[in-house]
Structure 1
Amino acid sequence: MIKLGKSTVTSEEKAETYTSAESAPLDTEVKSSHEDDVAAPSISSSKPGFDIPNGGVVAWLQVAGSFFLIFNSWGIANTYGVYQTFYEENILSSMAPSAISWIGSIQGFLLLMFGVLTGPIFDMGYFYSLLAAGTFLIVFGMMMTSLSTQYYQVLLSQGICVGLGSGCLFVPSVAIVAMYFSKRRAFAIGIAASGSSIGGVIYPAIFHQLQPKVGFGWATRVIGFVALGTQIFALAVMRRRSGPTAPRQIIDKTAWREAPYVLFALATFFAFMGLYIPFFNISTFAEGKTGASVELAFYSVPIISAASTFGRILPGLIADRVGPLNMLAPSSVASAILVFSWAAVHNVGGLVTFALLYGLASGAIVSLAPSVVATLTPDLRRLGGRIGMQFSIAGLGLLIGNPIAGAIENVQEREYLGAQMFCGAILMASTIATIGARIAKTGPRLMVKA
């Protein structure tokens, strides 16, 4: 509940410190005002800025600001499926689809991999510097993309420049929310992460509607201007709670001695290797395999993104009660099963059904991952660095996943089965690693919050 005016801090809220959550039995009842639904080792509350408010106007403004950071990082990345189709049919028609897919893969790779640097930078207090740099690089990259006519130009502007800008925004966008919420952390991060899905609906629609009327250049520039306006809002309202910490190493070596963290890093690697294959390929699949119209084939990507909005928010509500790992495992296995079922789709009805269900199931993989890392982090002052390391591993998966799928499929012969089976198998591997991380954290007990 958002509190207007000056927020009051209850004794229960004062007891919550800037730390991560440990697992607790699901059937445990709260026995006193000082026993939260998650218990954690504490950091001295005498240090300013470490009491977690769990609400209030300022806290929810951070969620709104994070929404737009993710809207302009992941939302633009999710738009690449539309650009891929346009490039294959127009200015880059002489290039192989797998070569064109490298542009989107590099963009997504840098979005995630750059977190290994931006995470420690965020922990050191340079939040606004990251936001300013990310805003400039995304807007500049989209403007340069609008002028591009050659493969290397698109690669430099849309792949590398926009990718680096997105990388400056992503880790701060999720780490800052964790500083303001502990009880409803997964739900708050889920709302922020839904910016990816909303961006994946709005930005493709902008391009699709404007490109035939004003051309590729101005359609892309409009996306850049929208990004600029929404980034200005984020810069105006976002506030980092704690002051700069001592300089840290880029790699937090202690994390790699913790089995749950290592196993979850493996899970995110496999997840992001397969997660975006349907996003990048469903439009060409729709045209080549289901007989869908060009219009419907285009909107298949926004359909996935729209369904993913609910898939990012609703699992967060449940995860705050049962734990993010307990929610993520079934979401991963459902995504894998749906991708295997994708091979049986041969008509428009099946296409729309798959797009809706896959968006709903896969949304939790992105939105819950930061919450999982928070529960695996003993000291949340190191959260930015740990999220950055986690998603840099995921970036390697994203970098290679879509080009592998592009090399396996045969668009000319309308053969997509190999890519579909590859995607399903990779997502199932992610499920196994997620379950392994959960067992390593809490043991084999079922009724335990994790």
Structure 2
Amino acid sequence: MPKNSVLSSETELQDGIYELTSRAAAPVSARTDEADAKSTKTMATVGGAAPLLGTSKAASASDGPVQAGNLEDHYPEGGIRAWLVVLGCWLALFTSLGFMHILATFQAYLSPAQQIQLRPGPVAGAIFGYASLSLLLGIYVGPLFDKYGPRWLILAGTVCSVASLLFVSIGTEDWQLFVALGILSSLGSAFLFTPAIAAVGHFFKDRRGFATGVATTACSASAVVFPFILQALFVRVGWAWAMRALALICFAITVAANFLIRARLPAARDANPHPHGRVFRTKGFAATVLAVVLAQFASFLPLSYMSSYALSKGFSEADSFNTVAILNASSLVGRVVGGWSADKIGPFNVSAMLSAIAALACFGIWLPAGGTKAGITIFAVIFGCASGSSVSLVPVSVGRLCKTQEYGRYYGACYTVASLVSLFAIPAAEGVLREDLGSYWALIVVTGMFYVAAAATFVATKLTVTGWRIWAAF
């Protein structure tokens, strides 16, 4: 049994799987596929888990030199260098994910009354173009990260993100807005998001969930900060200079990310920079993607309609805003706590439990008591904590199914498929609302059922990889 990898109260089972008998266990280890098993006899890993070697302990916090052949076996698990990478990831995510909130604010700001030739309709088209292209590019950016590392990708993301805002500041026609926001900004977000997340996995294995959870709190922060900054700038300096000021802010943030984000493992120079369908043949990966799709689809609905739901129940605009703010603040806590818990009992176990909790919150609180102030507040807190991990636990779960040097390829494929499917969440929800004549009863039921399906799929995926080991940490 690897030193420091499991607690004394755990029982070792076959194939390197550890069963929980008290409070925590090491990550499950299993074979990713037959080809990897034959070529790497000393390893039987599920993603970022340590190989089953007699000396597979994490590297010291000082991150001292490690032989090249054993880099996959030793992780800093902390120290200044590792946490600076987490900080760089936070900054990159703050900018890349913040662009979605920027675009939403654009749509609210632009109207026929504004003294520019841009209209809300084309802005909506730019938002859809941004969402579609930035998600689709993830399946290419992941393999590029594995082959070349994060440096040039993060730099390209910086250039595209800043340039898009500068072009918007001088644009006066709809097509210019679409090119700047729908194309340039999507390229910037794609080049920033996946490499930043994947780089964290190079420095953490046993604490990967917590580190990723801390980094993804940038999602909640950007949802608050960017709209607030833009609203203030629009009033004081107008559209053009607001864009230039925002470009300067993004430039400062992403330049810092360029200096902080780095890969620890050597780039796989012989890796194919193009997507490959073989990742979906890896044991448990396709089921993991399905589980992530179900969970993300379900999380999109309350996040998108919580404000309008509150207004439909007679709450004031202030109460509606506060409910959304409570949900976002709770999701920040959920990302950190969910990531920490995943390090203890496994990301699939945590994802299944949180999906079940979200389903119970929908059926037990939102459906019967959502029309009361106390009910909707309690639901926002519980649902925010449960759904907040939907971003932070995806890379940790995927990391259990592949080697770290293929982390970008697997994560990019999973995130791309899951996010593209999630684009249909809003149109589907609109259809449900129309059929239900504006009532939210059916929408709440659909959300709860998707979470039930997600919880069941996470459990099924775990059992597919570990066998019938109910208490295995996975």
Aligning the two structures, in what range does the TM-score lie when normalised by the shorter sequence? Answer: 0.7 to 0.9
Q: 1:326 — aligned with what?
A: 349
For the 8 Å contact 1:174–1:189, the answer to whether it is kept is yes
Select the residue among 112, 117, 125 that pairs with 2:140: 117
Give the secondary structure class of the aligned counterpart of 2:267: coil
In structure 1, distance between residues paired with 2:301 and 2:451: 11
Q: 1:318 to 1:290 in 2, by over 3 A?
A: same
Is residue 366 of structure 1 aligned with residue 391 of structure 2? yes
Structure 1 residues 291-316: Cα deviation after superposition (integer angstroms, max 9, x where no partner): 322x5544544433222111110111
Give the secondary structure class of the aligned counterpart of 1:376: coil
Q: 1:388 — aligned with what?
A: 412
1:373, CA displacement in angstroms? 0.7
In structure 2, distance between residues paired with 1:350 and 1:227: 38
Q: 2:165 — aligned with what?
A: 142
* Aligned AA (1:444): W
1:181, CA displacement in angstroms? 0.9
1:19-418 equivalence runs, <5 A: 23-27=17-21, 39-41=50-52, 45-47=67-69, 49-50=71-72, 51-78=74-101, 82-83=105-106, 85-86=108-109, 95=121, 103-145=126-168, 154-245=177-268, 246-248=270-272, 250-293=274-317, 295-298=318-321, 300-340=323-363, 341-343=365-367, 344-377=369-402, 379-409=403-433, 415-418=439-442
In structure 2, distance between residues paired with 1:346 and 1:58: 49
In structure 2, distance between residues paired with 1:152 and 1:424: 40
1:281, CA displacement in angstroms? 3.0
TM-score, normalised via structure 2 length = 0.78
Q: 1:403 to 1:81 in 2, by over 3 A?
A: farther
Structure 1 residues 369-395: Cα deviation after superposition (integer angstroms, max 9, x where no partner): 101111111x21111101111111112
Structure 1 residues 68-111: Cα deviation after superposition (integer angstroms, max 9, x where no partner): 1111122333555555555689778875xxx9766545434433
In structure 1, distance between residues paired with 2:200 and 2:401: 16
Give the secondary structure class of the aligned counterpart of 2:154: helix
For the 8 Å contact 2:98–2:219, the answer to whether it is kept is yes
Structure 1 residues 228-265: Cα deviation after superposition (integer angstroms, max 9, x where no partner): 21111111222222333113153344432234111001
For the 8 Å contact 1:85–1:284, the answer to whether it is kept is no
1:161, CA displacement in angstroms? 2.8
- The structure that has the greater radius of gyration is 2
Q: Which structure is higher in RCO with an 8 Å CA cutoff and minimum separation 6? A: 1
1:362, CA displacement in angstroms? 0.6
Give the secondary structure class of the aligned counterpart of 2:198: helix
Q: Percent identity?
A: 27
In structure 1, distance between residues paired with 2:125 and 2:461: 31
Q: 1:427 — aligned with what?
A: 451
1:64, CA displacement in angstroms? 0.5
For the 8 Å contact 1:201–1:306, the answer to whether it is kept is no
In structure 1, distance between residues paired with 2:401 and 2:393: 13
In structure 2, distance between residues paired with 1:80 and 1:427: 28
Give the secondary structure class of the aligned counterpart of 2:263: coil
Q: 1:441 — aligned with what?
A: 465
Alignment gaps of 5+ in structure 1:
1-10, 14-20
Q: 1:7 — aligned with what?
A: none
For the 8 Å contact 2:150–2:196, the answer to whether it is kept is no
In structure 2, distance between residues paired with 1:331 and 1:367: 12
Structure 1 residues 286-342: Cα deviation after superposition (integer angstroms, max 9, x where no partner): 44443322x554454443322211111011111111011111111122223434554
Structure 1 residues 130-173: Cα deviation after superposition (integer angstroms, max 9, x where no partner): 10111122223334445667766555433443222111111111
Alignment gaps of 5+ in structure 2:
6-14, 27-44, 57-65
For the 8 Å contact 1:24–1:39, the answer to whether it is kept is no
* Aligned AA (2:433): E
TM-score, normalised via structure 1 length = 0.81
* Aligned AA (1:280): S
Q: 1:74 to 1:410 in 2, by over 3 A?
A: same
